[in-house]
A and B are shown apart, each in its own frame.
Chain A
Amino acid sequence: MRILRLWRHPGSWTIFRLDDRLLLILIAVIVGTCSGLAAIALNRSLIAMFEWLHNFRHYWWSFIIPAVGAALSALFLDKIVKEGAGHGVPEVVYSVSRYGGLMRFRSSFSRLISSCLTIGSGGSAGPEAPVVMSGAAIGSNIAKFFFLNDRQRITIVGCGAAGAISSIFNAPIAGMVFSIEVILGEWKSVNIVPIAIASVAGTEISRILQGNQIAFSHRLFNIHHLDIVACIGLAIVSAAASLLLTRFLRSMHGVSKKAPFPIWMRAAAGGCMVGIIGIFLPIVLGEGYHSIRTMIEGAFAQGLGIVAVAAFAKILATSLTLGWGGSGGIFAPCLVIGSLAGLTYHRGLVLLWPSVPWVNEGCFALLGMAGLISGMLQAPLTGIFLIIEITGSYEVILPLIIVSVISTTLCHYIEPASFYLKELIEKGQLLRPGTDARVLSDLNVRELLEKDCISVKQNVLLRDFVNIIKKSHRNYFPVEDENTGNFLGMIHLDDIRSYLFNPLMYDAVVLGQIMDTDVEVVYLDDDLSKVLRRMDANRLFSMPVIANKKFIGMISKATLLDKYRKELMVQTGF
C-alpha cells in the first residue's frame, strides 16, 4: 500500500531528491524538449495551414479568411478552453511575479491552437509569444508534478520559455537571454544553468526535426564607419516605430473593448480589416518571415513609398489582429516592421546621399529588426542575441549594439515600461525578485498578528485600568464596546500619562473618555506594503487589526521587519 501511496507523488521519490541541482537539470532537459516540441508543432501547423489556405488567396472573398480564423480562435479561447485572448507573455511574467510560476495545464496547449488559427488564416501576429506561454505552462506543470518549491518552479518556467524560443528560432542564446531578461528578471547562476540546459534541449530538438538552418541567412555585409554613424538615425526610426506599435495596440484594445459585440465578433471584425489591407499589401498577412528573408537578401523590389506604407500597414494590421481579440505575439510583427523600417531608412539615405557607398539595404533591415525588438521589449540583450543568431551575422555586432541600446533608451525614456510589462506595472502587479513589494507579497497580515494585548471595555474606571496595566507587557490597549465587543479605539500609555499620575482622576474618568478614537486600523486582507507605507507616513510603530468590526490583534513594524528579513532570506536562497 505504501508503494501505491508513493505512486501518487512520484516527485517525492528518493531518487529525485538526491540533489536538487541535478533534479533541476534533469527537469530542464525534459521541459526544454517538451517546449521545443510544442514550438515545432506550432511551426509545422502554421506551414500546413498557410499552404492549404494559399489556394484560396486569389479569390475576391479571401479577405474574410483572417476574419474566420480570428473568430474561431476567439471562440476556442473563450468557449472551449475559457481563457482570455492576448499574447500570453504578461500572463507568464505575472504568474512568476505573484504565484511562484503556477500556471494552468490548459495554457500549455490553448495558445498553440488559437494562435495557429489566427496566424495561419493570415492574421498579423507571431507564434513566439504563444510558444513561450505554452513552454512556460509545460514547465510549470512538470514542476508541480515534481512538487518543486516556488523558486525552483520559477526557474523551470523560465526553462520552458527558453526552450520554446530556442527551438522556434534555432537560437539557444536568444532563448536563454529572453527568459532571464524578460520573464524572470533575475540573473543568478541557479537560474542560468537549468535555463541554458533547456535552451540546448529545445534547440537540439529543433535541429533534429527541422535541420540546422539559420532562419534569415544572407550574404556578408561590408560595414563602413559612415554606416555606423547612420545607425543612430535608424535607432530613432526604430524607436518611433516601436512606440507607434505600442500605442496602436493599446488604443485598438481600448476601442474593441467598447464595441458592444461578443469577443468572437470583435476578433472577426479585426480579422476582416486585416484581410482587406492584405488584398493591397499581402506583406501584412501572417507572420511575414518570407518577406523578412527577401528584405535581408536585399531583394525587396518595391520602392521607398510602398515600403514606408507597408511598415505603417503592418503596424495597423498587427494592432487590429491582437487588439481586437486575435491570438498571437508581437515578436514576428516586430521583425517585419523593423526590417521595413530599416529598409525605408536605408532608401531614404540613398535618396538623400546617392554618392555615399552605403552598406547593402539588407543590413539595415536586419538592424531595424533589432531596434524594434529592443524597443518593444526594452530588452537590448534579447534583441542583440536574437538577431545575431537568426541571421548568423556577427559582423554587424557593433551597429547592432548601437541600434539596440539607443532604441531601448529612447523607448524607455518615453514609455518607462515595456509593452509586456506596462499593464502589470500600472496595476502594481510586477513584483521582481528581491524587491520590497515581492517579499511583502508573500506575507500577510494574519501571520504577523500579535495577540498578547489586553482588551479593555469603555466604561472601565481609570483606577481599575491601573491594575490592568500592571499585568500587561504592552503600552497600548484596545478598547471594546461592552455589549457588542466592537472595536472603539485605543489607549496608549504615553497619551494618558497626565491622568495616570493624578490619583484624583482615578475614580472620575472612564476609559471611554480618554481613549483615542481616531485610530489608523488594518484589515486582514490589507496589502502589507501599503500598511508599511501608512506606518511610515503616520510615524506609527504598531496598528490594531480589525475583522468584522472586532479587534483581533496588533501588527507592529518590528515584527513586520523581522518577518520581512526571514522571507527575504528564503526568497534569495540564503
Chain B
Amino acid sequence: MDAQLFHIFRNTPLGRETLLQSIYFCKKIGASLIIYIPEFTKFLMYFENDVVQIDLDSSYLTSPETALKHAKELLDQGKIKARFLDPKNFTASTLPDIATNFDFMCCPRSISDLSSKIGLGYIGPRVRRIVNSARFPVLITSPVFKKWRSIAVFFGGSANAINALKLGFRLSRASEMPLSVYTHMENVSRESYEEIIKNENLEEEMDRYVTEWHIFESGKFEENIYDVPHDALVVMGAYGHSLIRNIFFGGKMEKIQSTITNNLLIAGPNYTLTR
C-alpha cells in the first residue's frame, strides 16, 4: 500500500501519544508517514470546495528546538521512516498552505482548543470541518496510545456507511486484522441491509473479510455500542444525513465518539476511495 498519512506533530506528552498512534497505524497498513512540525500557529488546507484555516493551539509550538529530535526518537523506536513536510506555498508570510492530497490524516479530537483537547465527547470545530471537506478519512486518536487489534465498521446503510465499509475492507486487507460490522437497525428489516450490500456488489468482500456482522434489533444505540471491543479501530462515515436531522437528532458519529475511547477513522461526505 503506497498510502500516506499526514500527521501534525505536537511536542508534548499528548503529542507523543498521538504520534505513536500514527506510527502504529502506518505500520499496520503499510502506509508512509508524513510529519509536519508547525512553525506557526496557523495554516491553511485547501480542499476542493472549501478552505479551512487551522488555528493550532500554542502547545503545538512547544520547545521547537527539541521537536524534530523527539519526533525522530519515536520514529526510531517504532522502526519506521517518515518524511518531514516543509511547506512550499504560503498564502501569507506566516500562513503556510498544507497539501490535502494525502490518504489519511491524524488528528487529536481538537487541534485548536487547549482546554478541551483531551475531553471525550468533544470534537473541535476545525477537526469537524476537515472531516466534512476532506477527500481522505481522518484518524481521530484516543487520548492515550492504544494498539488496535481488530477493525469495527459501523454500517447504517447510507452512502457514507458504504464508503466506510469499503474503507474497512481496505484496512483489513492491508493489516490482515479481523473485521466486524455493527448495524443498529432503524425502522428497516435485516434484509434491507443485506439488499444494500448486494446492490453494491459487496457480498464477496463481506464473505472474505468480515468475521462477524452484529445487527442490533433492539436496545438503545448508545448501549449497543458497548459491544465494540475496546481495542478495535472504529471505522465510520460522518455527516451523511441532512443538516437539520443532525441538528435535531444528532449524528451517529457524535454518539459514538462521545461514548467510546477507541481510535476512530472517520470518512466524511467527500471521502473518495482512491486505492
Binding site for B on A (CB under 8 A): 1, 4-5, 7-8, 82-84, 86, 91, 94-95, 98-99, 102-104, 106, 144, 147, 427, 429, 444, 446, 524-525, 527, 547-550, 552
CB distance from A430 to the nearest CB of B (A): 12
- Cβ < 8 Å to A, chain B residues 77-113: 81, 83, 88-95, 97, 99, 101
Chain B interfacial residues counted at CB < 8 A: 30
Q: Which residues of B contact A524 (CB under 8 A)?
A: 4
Please state if A548 and B81 are interface contacts (CB–CB under 8 Å): yes
Please state if B242 and A7 are interface contacts (CB–CB under 8 Å): yes
A-B contacts besides A82-B41, A94-B91, 9 pairs, CB < 8 Å = A1-B242, A5-B242, A8-B243, A84-B92, A95-B51, A102-B49, A527-B88, A548-B32, A552-B2
C-alpha spacing A102/B53, complex, angstroms: 12
C-alpha spacing A95/B94, complex, angstroms: 16
B128 within 8 A of A: no
Please state if B242 and A104 are interface contacts (CB–CB under 8 Å): no
Q: Which residues of B contact A8 (CB under 8 A)?
A: 242-244
Please state if A4 and B244 are interface contacts (CB–CB under 8 Å): yes
Please state if A547 and B4 are interface contacts (CB–CB under 8 Å): yes
B241 within 8 A of A: yes
Q: Which residues of B contact A527 (CB under 8 A)?
A: 88
Please state if B99 and A525 are interface contacts (CB–CB under 8 Å): yes
C-alpha spacing A4/B91, complex, angstroms: 36
Q: Which residues of B contact A94 (CB under 8 A)?
A: 91
C-alpha spacing A446/B32, complex, angstroms: 14
Q: Which residues of B contact A83 (CB under 8 A)?
A: 92, 95
Please state if B51 and A102 are interface contacts (CB–CB under 8 Å): yes
Q: Taking each of B44, B46, B91, B245, which has the highest tally of chain A beta carbons within 10 Å of its own beta carbon?
A: B91
C-alpha spacing A396/B4, complex, angstroms: 62
Please state if B81 and A4 are interface contacts (CB–CB under 8 Å): no
B42 within 8 A of A: yes
C-alpha spacing A147/B101, complex, angstroms: 20
Pairs across A and B, CB under 8 Å, 6 listed: A4-B242, A8-B244, A82-B41, A84-B92, A86-B92, A99-B97
Q: Which residues of B contact A99 (CB under 8 A)?
A: 46, 51, 97
B186 within 8 A of A: no
Please state if A446 and B101 are interface contacts (CB–CB under 8 Å): yes
B55 within 8 A of A: yes
Q: Which residues of A contact B83 (CB under 8 A)?
A: 548
Q: Which residues of A contact B81 (CB under 8 A)?
A: 548-549
Among B46, B49, B93, contact of A84 (Cβ-Cβ < 8 Å): B93
Please state if B94 and A84 are interface contacts (CB–CB under 8 Å): yes
Q: Which residues of A contact B244 (CB under 8 A)?
A: 4, 7-8
Q: Which residues of B contact A446 (CB under 8 A)?
A: 101
- Cβ < 8 Å to A, chain B residues 30-85: 32, 41-42, 44, 46, 49-51, 53, 55, 81, 83
CB distance from A114 to the nearest CB of B (A): 13
Please state if A95 and B242 are interface contacts (CB–CB under 8 Å): no
C-alpha spacing A548/B4, complex, angstroms: 10
Please state if A427 and B91 are interface contacts (CB–CB under 8 Å): no
C-alpha spacing A8/B132, complex, angstroms: 13
Among B4, B41, B50, B101, contact of A144 (Cβ-Cβ < 8 Å): B50
Name which residue of chain A comes closest to B26, CB basis: A548
CB distance from A18 to the nearest CB of B (A): 21
